[in-house]
Copies of this chain bind each other. A is one copy, B any other.
Amino acid sequence: LDEISEWTIDTDVAIVGFGCAGAAAAIEATAAGADTLIIDRAGGPGGTSALSSGAIYLGGGTPIQRACGFEDSVEDMYTFLVAACGPDADEAKIAIYCGESVSQYQWLVERCGVEFLAEFCELPGIPPGEQALHYVGGENAYPFNQVARPAPRGHKPRTEGNAGWMLMDRLVGALGHDAARLFDTRVERLVVGRDGRVVGAVGRRYGREVTVRARRGVILTAGGFIANDRMLAQYMPLVVGCEKVGGDTDDGSGIRMAQAAGAAIKHIDAVDVTLMITPPLSRQFGILVNGQGQRFINEDTYFGRVGYAALYGQGGDVYLVVDQDSYGIDDSMPVVQPDIEGQVITRVSHVAGTARELEESAGFPVGSLEATLDLYNRHAQNGEDVTHHKSPEWVRPLVPPYGVIDYRRSSGVPYWSLTLGGLHTNVRGEVLNADGDAIPGLYAAGRTTSGIAAHGYCSGLSLGDGMFFGRRAGCAAAGSL
């Protein structure tokens, strides 16, 4: 916060973090004619974006959606996101994100050279093959299928399995040599002028202090804080010890250095928790129950909704009750352990010929599972789930013998967690203070900010809003927005 007499580096726009949001910001800032410097802690670009599935949340009628035979509209996408990302979803951000989603798709394809294969994959999670299109937020399940026409909106770049590395490769290629890069440099604090304007940043490189003057602004795209256990304990204690979605660099440094400069934080307790009961999809014929033998959610919804409900609503005390058809009960399967793809092999921990016997062996209160199964099976004969509204295609009576798969937090099944909250920004990517006013010279995007997702999430929103609002922050800082 003091005057710095001599700057190590002088630039128009300084970007802290070289993931997808930083890359997108740099592409736009350089296009607008601004001298641009990207700084990253690592030895090269990529960040957590490069480790991700690569799925991007896009819709409103993209060429891929149309080629796969799905109708979509900006209105349906907007209505869905406001419902799925709430409560308190940022309607202004969602509106502009949806309205420009097809144009964002074109930018990815035409400006950046990202390729998408127009094939639909019906599996939830990352398409194992090269297919682009898949469901990523429970659009086609209760309750969201009641409020908006469902359409798949996950767009994965064309490669097998994870595609985040490929997306980053294309973004870095599109940027070319237009921006300067400073790697192995940990930015530690912002420099604020006497008039309150952010005028630069101070970092450390191989033990030496580096001062960067940014004449037009600093853009923070430094990731979330899932790697910072102290911040997790402070803002989301239930998540401490859960499996982390993100890299070591997601330490909250971008959020904290902006706070020290007066920035407000928003939805800082918001978290996505993923608990996958599929693949195989047949497990959706089973029923999820808590330790009291009660159902608590429709099993066919987005795995982020399942995980959040399991951890926050049920204290991580949940089980899947299955039968022969929904699982293929086989006691010879190994105990829970991650396989090479990071997926999880689970096994049936208890099997019994009646609900009552299963209660006894698995430790549910006497009569509890029996009551739940009786009620479920009675309506399932008519293809109905009257309490939790699972889609009829996954509803049929469960037939003894029954099995229980242990999905408790304590069982070792991963509860993958991702922080969603961060700096409070507007649709120009400007960082706001506690009074809601923009802090001059300070911008941010990606998981350093609270973005499209408030308290609910869909896969693909972090790459999605990271690039979209990264571009806007790059334009705004460079003066072209």
Which residues of chain B are near A160, meaning CB under 8 Å?
none
Cross-chain contact of A260 among B294, B313, B375, B434 (Cβ < 8 A): B434
A234 at the interface (CB under 8 A from B): yes
Which residues of chain B are near A313, meaning CB under 8 Å?
313
Cross-chain contact of A366 among B234, B262, B379 (Cβ < 8 A): B379
Given contacts A88-B233, A237-B455, contact A386 B365 (CB under 8 A): yes
Which residues of chain B are near A2, meaning CB under 8 Å?
194
B-facing mask of A240-276, CB < 8 A → 1, else 0? 1000000000000000100110101111110000000
A194 (CB) vs chain B CBs: closest residue? B2
Are the CB atoms of B238 and A434 closer together than 8 Å? no
Are the CB atoms of B86 and A235 closer together than 8 Å? no
- Least CB distance, A278 to chain B, in whole angstroms: 23
A59 at the interface (CB under 8 A from B): no
Which residues of chain B are near A455, meaning CB under 8 Å?
237
Cross-chain contact of A292 among B86, B367, B388, B454 (Cβ < 8 A): B388
Cross-chain contact of A266 among B234, B240, B312, B372 (Cβ < 8 A): B234
A200 at the interface (CB under 8 A from B): no
Majority SS at the chain A contact face: loop
A293 (CB) vs chain B CBs: closest residue? B387
A335 at the interface (CB under 8 A from B): no
A68 at the interface (CB under 8 A from B): no
Cα distance A294–B367 when bound, in Å? 14
Which residues of chain B are near A1, meaning CB under 8 Å?
1
A87 at the interface (CB under 8 A from B): yes
A205 at the interface (CB under 8 A from B): no
Which residues of chain B are near A368, meaning CB under 8 Å?
375, 386-387
Cα distance A268–B240 when bound, in Å? 17
A73 at the interface (CB under 8 A from B): no
A233 (CB) vs chain B CBs: closest residue? B88
Are the CB atoms of B367 and A378 closer together than 8 Å? yes
Cross-chain contact of A268 among B235, B293, B387 (Cβ < 8 A): B235
A374 at the interface (CB under 8 A from B): yes
Are the CB atoms of B235 and A269 closer together than 8 Å? yes
Are the CB atoms of B266 and A269 closer together than 8 Å? no
CB-contacts of A214-232 with B (<8 A) = 230
Which residues of chain B are near A387, meaning CB under 8 Å?
292-294, 365, 368
Cross-chain contact of A454 among B237, B375, B388, B433 (Cβ < 8 A): B237
A428 at the interface (CB under 8 A from B): no
Which residues of chain B are near A388, meaning CB under 8 Å?
292
Cα distance A374–B375 when bound, in Å? 12
- Least CB distance, A393 to chain B, in whole angstroms: 20
Sample (6) of A-B pairs whose CB atoms are under 8 Å apart: A2-B194, A234-B266, A256-B434, A269-B269, A365-B379, A365-B386
**Using a CB–CB distance below 8 Å, which chain A residues touch chain B?**
1-2, 86-88, 194, 230, 233-235, 237-238, 240, 256, 259-260, 262, 264-269, 292-295, 312-313, 365-368, 371-372, 374-375, 378-379, 386-388, 424, 433-434, 436, 454-455
